[in-house]
């Protein structure tokens, strides 16, 4: 008798089919709650033990969409046992696709944002990291939503290629008008991700140089050594060769100095030792070499090479000044004269009889 009752039909399905569907839904809910208890709660406890709060936020963000995706999946499985009217089936398909896409976008977006936040936390000592993340995260969201919309339209039966073609033809004028803006925008993200320079770096681009003050979406601003502000388009920056002096571990300096031809051999042999002692006595400086290099037109030339163990330009300038003053002082004590261009004229006086 029970079997007869189960075989009764209501809205095109037997009571047995409805019972199996309800059973599937109940099992699905039980499995979802079991996973929540075994996995998500353990993740929460693990997140609380860490020093930062980013992982706590991630667990909270993924908990709801994950559970709802499980509910949606088991609901879809339970409906496979039922015969639905075409209109109802189509409506449920549309609602299911949209709902599942929203949940997936929320889940993937949360993971992507968490990954970017972790990257920013690791590189938090960089002064422009917060600004860069604040610009990049909305762009990632827009990208994910664009993919989600295309996915929904494709699953609802729209011809995506035709839609894209139509948008492409209709937007040619806009695309051409905004080409420069888009190039600068993509160049900004290229600078942001590749990081050829950062705020505070001293860079040289072509015949321009300065310290990076600000990296904007369209332009980058430098402050030159003269104090003026240089504004460069991001597109020009990414297309140019950039010299970043801030990335140097040390700065190598080579310079020449000349002494007069009247300098004695003993003094000439003494000069490399004088230079070496001067350089070795300056902090953050490593002596490389000092040699009598060549005979000039009006001087005996020495080549001197040393290393400044920092990339700070102001330290280099201070070192160079201290070195020049000390060289002048020590040469004066040793009686060594610096050479400068001179000409000597020899006049021969002829004796003539009146």
Query: Does residue 28 surpass a pLDDT of 60?
Result: yes
- As a whole number of angstroms, the distance between CA 6 and CA 332 comes to 115
Instruction: Name the token pair of 225.
Output: 């050594």
Q: What is the 3-state secondary structure (H, E, C) of the chain?
A: CHHHHHCCEECCEEHHHHHHHHHHHHHHHHHHHHHHHHHHHHHHHHHHHCCCCHHHHHHHHHHHHHHHHHHHHHHHHHHCCCCCCHHHHHHHHHHHHHHHHHHHHHHHHHHHHHHHHHHHHHCCCCCCHHHHHHHHHHHHHHHHHHHHHHHHHHHCCCCHHHHHHHHHHHCHHHHHHCHHHHHHHHHHHHHHHHCCCCCCCEEEECCEEEEEEEECCCEEEEECCCCCEEEEEHHHHHHCCEEEHHHCCCEEEEEEEEECCCCCHHHHHHHHHHHHHHHHCCCCEEEEEEEEEEECCCCEEEEEEEEECCCCHHHHHHHHHHHHHHHHHHHHHHCCCECCCCCCCCCCCCCCCC
Q: CB-based contacts of 83: which residues, under 8 Å, 6+ apart? A: 12, 13, 17
Q: Classify each residue of 106-133 as buried b or exposed e, where b means 16 or more C-beta atoms within 10 Å of its C-beta.
A: bbbbbebbbeebeebeeeeeeebbeebb
pLDDT of residue 334: 92
312 and 272 both lie in a single domain: yes
pLDDT of residue 160: 62
**CB atoms near residue 259 (< 10 Å):** 20
Q: CB-based contacts of 276: which residues, under 8 Å, 6+ apart? A: 287, 290
- As a whole number of angstroms, the distance between CA 227 and CA 328 comes to 31
CA atoms within 13 A on the CB side of 132: 24
Between strands 202-205 and 208-215, the pairing is antiparallel
33 and 72 both lie in a single domain: yes
pLDDT in tens, 227-284: 899 999 888 888 888 988 777 778 889 999 999 999 999 999 999 999 999 999 999 9
pTM for this entry:
0.46
149 and 164 both lie in a single domain: no
Give a yes or no: residue 25 inside a domain.
yes
98 and 208 both lie in a single domain: no
194 and 206 both lie in a single domain: yes
pLDDT of residue 200: 82
pLDDT of residue 119: 72
Boundary-marking domain end, from 193, 216, 247: 247
- As a whole number of angstroms, the distance between CA 234 and CA 51 comes to 38
Boundary-marking domain end, from 224, 247, 270: 247
pLDDT of residue 98: 79
pLDDT of residue 186: 78
pLDDT of residue 327: 94
- As a whole number of angstroms, the distance between CA 184 and CA 238 comes to 9
116 and 189 both lie in a single domain: no
* Mean pLDDT, residues 76-92 taken together: 68
Residue percentage of the chain with pLDDT more than 90: 21
CATH of residue 284: 3.30.70.100
Boundary-marking domain end, from 123, 141, 159: 159
151 and 15 both lie in a single domain: yes
Residue percentage of the chain with pLDDT more than 70: 70
What is the count of structural domains for the chain?
Answer: 3
- As a whole number of angstroms, the distance between CA 227 and CA 209 comes to 11
pLDDT-wise least confident of 97-111, 180-194, 300-314: 180-194
Residue 192 pLDDT level (bands cut at 50, 70, 90): confident
- As a whole number of angstroms, the distance between CA 273 and CA 336 comes to 13
* Mean pLDDT, residues 189-205 taken together: 82
**Structural domain range at position 233:** 160-247
Give a yes or no: residue 120 inside a domain.
yes
Give a yes or no: residue 184 inside a domain.
yes
255 and 281 both lie in a single domain: yes
254 strand-pairing partners: 305
162 burial (CB, 10 Å; 0-12 / 13-18 / 19+) is: exposed
- As a whole number of angstroms, the distance between CA 128 and CA 214 comes to 8
Contact indicator for 202, 210 with CB cutoff of 8 Å: yes
């Amino acid at each position: 008798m029970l079997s007869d009752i189960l075989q009764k039909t209501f809205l095109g399905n037997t009571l047995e089919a409805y019972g199996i569907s309800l059973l599937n839904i109940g099992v699905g809910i039980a499995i979802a709650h079991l996973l929540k208890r075994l996995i998500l709660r353990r993740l929460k406890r693990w997140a609380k033990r860490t020093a930062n709060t980013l992982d706590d936020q991630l667990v909270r963000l993924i908990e709801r969409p994950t559970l709802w995706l499980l509910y949606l999946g088991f609901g879809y499985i339970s409906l496979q046992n039922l015969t639905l009217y075409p209109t109802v089936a189509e409506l449920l398909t549309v609602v299911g696709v949209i709902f599942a896409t929203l949940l997936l976008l929320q889940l993937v977006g949360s993971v992507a944002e968490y990954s970017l936040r972790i990257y920013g936390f690791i590189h938090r000592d960089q002064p422009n990291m917060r600004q860069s993340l604040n610009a990049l995260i909305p762009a990632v969201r827009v990208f994910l939503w664009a993919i989600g919309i295309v996915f929904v339209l494709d699953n609802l039966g729209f011809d995506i290629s035709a839609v894209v073609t139509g948008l492409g033809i209709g937007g040619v004028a806009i695309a051409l008008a905004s080409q420069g803006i888009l190039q600068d925008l993509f160049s900004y993200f290229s600078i942001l991700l590749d990081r050829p320079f950062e705020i505070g770096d001293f860079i040289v681009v072509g015949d321009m140089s300065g310290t990076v003050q600000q990296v904007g979406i369209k332009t980058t601003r430098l402050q030159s050594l003269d104090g003026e502000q240089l504004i460069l388009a991001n597109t020009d920056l990414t297309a140019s060769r950039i010299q970043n002096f801030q990335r140097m571990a040390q700065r190598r300096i080579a310079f020449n100095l000349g002494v007069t031809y009247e300098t004695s051999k003993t003094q000439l042999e003494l000069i490399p030792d004088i230079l070496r002692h001067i350089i070795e006595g300056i902090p953050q400086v490593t002596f490389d070499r000092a040699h009598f290099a060549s005979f000039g037109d009006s001087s005996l030339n020495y080549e001197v090479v040393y290393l400044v163990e920092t990339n700070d330009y102001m330290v280099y300038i201070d070192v160079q000044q201290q070195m020049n003053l000390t060289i002048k002082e020590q040469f004066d004590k040793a009686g060594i004269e610096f050479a400068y261009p001179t000409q000597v004229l020899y006049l021969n006086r002829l004796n003539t009889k009146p």
